[in-house]
Every structure is written in C-alpha cells, then in structure tokens.
C-alpha cells in the first residue's frame, strides 16, 4: 500500500505516510475519503504528508485525482478548511514544488526534511 494513515493522526490532524508509487486508488480509497471525513467532522484540516525513503512519486492517475480534489477545495469556499500542510521527506524537487504551489493553497504549507518529522508534527499540530 502506498498510502497509510499514521498513528499521529488525531482530531483535525491527518498524518499520511506515502511509500512506493502513489496510485489513483490510493487517493480514491484512502486519501480523499479520510480528508472528506475530517473536513465534515471538524470544518478545518491540518495535513502532514510523510514521503518515506521508498517513495517513488505519483502515477498519472494519482496526479489527476489530486488535481480534482485540489480544485474542488481551492478558492474562497476553502478558506479555513486547510489550515496547515506539512510536506516531509521525499526529494528536494517535491519540497520545492510544494513551496512554489503553496502560495495557491488557502492555508500555510511548509516543507521539512525527513529527519525533521517530529518538528513537522509539532508544527502541523500547533
């Protein structure tokens, strides 16, 4: 499985570990339903995405699912929904991409090295 909910998830904090290659089924079966559930329950969401050392990236279908979800939750209606997003690990390219596109997000987005996972968890929960 490429996506799993981490034990550090609680309340409106969703911590996800991504490993291997992320597929569209990972989005449809795990990622999107869990985010929708927490948005409905809490109104706002804080997300930590931990790309472990085995993370190989996204299949095209996964990128499409991510794009659809993102566009459905951007803009004025999304203000307050995504409070914080922490991107942890992965290649420097993913972190830089996150930093660039973070300006389009309605909340804060911050990138962390894999070795700073604990710091990222503290940040996303604060």
Query: Can you tell me the distance from the alpha carbon of 92 to that of 40, in angstroms, rounded to the nearest whole number?
Result: 33
pTM exceeds 0.75, yes or no = yes
- Domains in the chain: ranges and CATH: 3-125 (3.30.750)
**Phi, psi values for residue 86, rounded to 5°:** -110, 120
Contact call for residues 6 and 16 (beta carbons, < 8 A): yes
Instruction: For residue range 94-107, list pLDDT tens digits in order.
Output: 667 667 766 666 67
Confidence of residue 73 (pLDDT cuts 50, 70, 90): low
- Bridge partner list, 74: none
């Amino acid at each position: 499985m490429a996506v799993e909910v981490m034990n550090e998830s609680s309340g409106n904090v969703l911590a996800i570990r991504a490993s291997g290659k992320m597929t569209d089924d990972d989005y449809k079966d795990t990622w999107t339903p869990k985010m929708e559930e927490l948005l409905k329950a809490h109104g706002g969401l804080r997300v930590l995405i931990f790309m472990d050392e085995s993370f190989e990236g996204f299949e095209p279908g996964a990128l499409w699912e991510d794009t659809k979800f993102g566009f459905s939750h951007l803009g004025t209606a999304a203000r307050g929904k995504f409070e914080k997003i922490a991107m942890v690990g992965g290649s420097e390219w993913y972190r830089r991409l996150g930093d660039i596109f973070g300006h389009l997000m309605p909340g804060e987005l911050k990138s962390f090295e894999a070795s700073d996972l604990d710091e990222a968890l503290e940040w996303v929960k604060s």
